[in-house]
Amino acid sequence: MMLTASHITLKYGERKAVSDVSFSLQEGQWLMVIGPNGAGKSSLIAALSNTRPFQGKVTVRGQDIRILPPRPRAQAVGVLAQHQALHYAFTVEEVVRLGRYAHRNGWLAAHDPQGEAMVGQALQWTGMAELRERSVLTLSGGERQRVFLAQVLAQDPAILMLDEPAEALDLKYQKTLFELTDVWAAQPGKAVISVVHDLSVARRFGSHALLMRDGKCLAQGTKAEVLQPKHLNKAYGMDVGAWMRTLALPWAGYENGQNGNNQV
């Protein structure tokens, strides 16, 4: 078992952002955490990565995440967080290189034989190799997101946690991101948990899903079990299928070189 979460509760003051959520994740699985705004999806990631204090227990590869020292924890769990506010003009490469921190041991000796290769590969994967010398302050929102994606890929954790990773990314890099994550999850000893808003992505990618609303888990299991009208309509308070079909409609005929149906 890669990760087990038992009775996770996370509070902001008296308000419960996550309330008694339990699930487990096995090697090779990609868990899509979905739900409306304020459902507690990002807070769940904060608890699972021990970023915020929580009640309950999270074990990663059998070890309690609260007891794991920071470096082994970062080797086990890597997080791509939302909204990275930047204040200083670090270069792209400097930020990505920090992803290797958990693999370097000792104060002065930065012995990390795979480090250079991993950093180079992460920059290539995210299309940031050309911009490696650029200051992060001069990058667009989407490019910054790719820098931090490259950082967490260079970190090479066993469990990759992505909190709304496609936000601010253009179509090309959304495609790259999800296809890359698909390949990543299939590697031995890896698993992925990602928070996504786009239900089409959740239907297309991932193996499992966890649907949240008001901090609670409404449904969990395989994609087929969770992404059903009865669960989704209840969680979002609307006819989800009808809306998704409405969105897809204008694309009918697009492949044949026609302009598609722009009438909704």
Partner 1 sequence: MNKQASQEGLSPYAWLLMGVGVLVTALVCISVGSVTLPLGTTWKTLLEAILGRVPQEGVAAPILLSVRTPRVVAAGLTGAALSLCGAAMQGLLRNPLADGSTLGVSSGASLGAVLAMALGLQIPGLPNAGPMVMAILFAFLSLLLILFLAYAFDRSFSTHTIILVGVIFSMFAGSLISLVIAFSGEMLRTITFWSMGSLAGASYTQGLLLLIALAVFGGLLLVRGGELNAFAIGEENAHHIGINVRRVKLEALVCVSAMIGVGVSIGGTIGFVGLIVPHIVRLITGPNHRKLLPAATLAGAVFLMLSDLLARTALSPVELPIGVVTSLIGASTFVAVIFRRRKRRAA
Residues that bind partner 1 (CB under 8 A): 49-53, 69-75, 78-79, 81, 84-91, 93-95, 97-99, 101-102, 107-108, 110, 115-116, 148, 151-152, 155
Phi (first) and psi of residue 210, to 5 degrees: -135, 115
Cβ proximity of 42 and 195 under 8 Å: yes
Smallest separation (angstroms) from partner 1 to the CB of 84: 6
Taking every pair of Cα atoms in the chain, the longest distance, rounded to a whole number of angstroms, is 64
Smallest separation (angstroms) from partner 1 to the CB of 131: 15
Q: Pick the closer one to partner 1 by CB: 144 or 213.
A: 144
Q: How many CB atoms lie within 10 A of CB 189?
A: 10
What is the Cα–Cα distance from 174 to 92, expressed in whole angstroms? 20
Smallest separation (angstroms) from partner 1 to the CB of 83: 10
Those residues whose C-beta lies under 8 Å from the C-beta of residue 12, and which sit 6 or more positions away, are 43
Task: Identify the helix (H) or strand (E) that includes residue 42.
Answer: helix 41-48
What is the Cα–Cα distance from 157 to 3, expressed in whole angstroms? 13
**Cα dist. 120→92, 155, 247 in Å?**
12, 12, 38
Q: Pick the closer one to partner 1 by CB: 33 or 95.
A: 95
Q: Pick the closer one to partner 1 by CB: 53 or 229.
A: 53
Q: Pick the closer one to partner 1 by CB: 122 or 235.
A: 122
Q: Pick the closer one to partner 1 by CB: 94 or 182.
A: 94
Smallest separation (angstroms) from partner 1 to the CB of 264: 40
Smallest separation (angstroms) from partner 1 to the CB of 56: 18
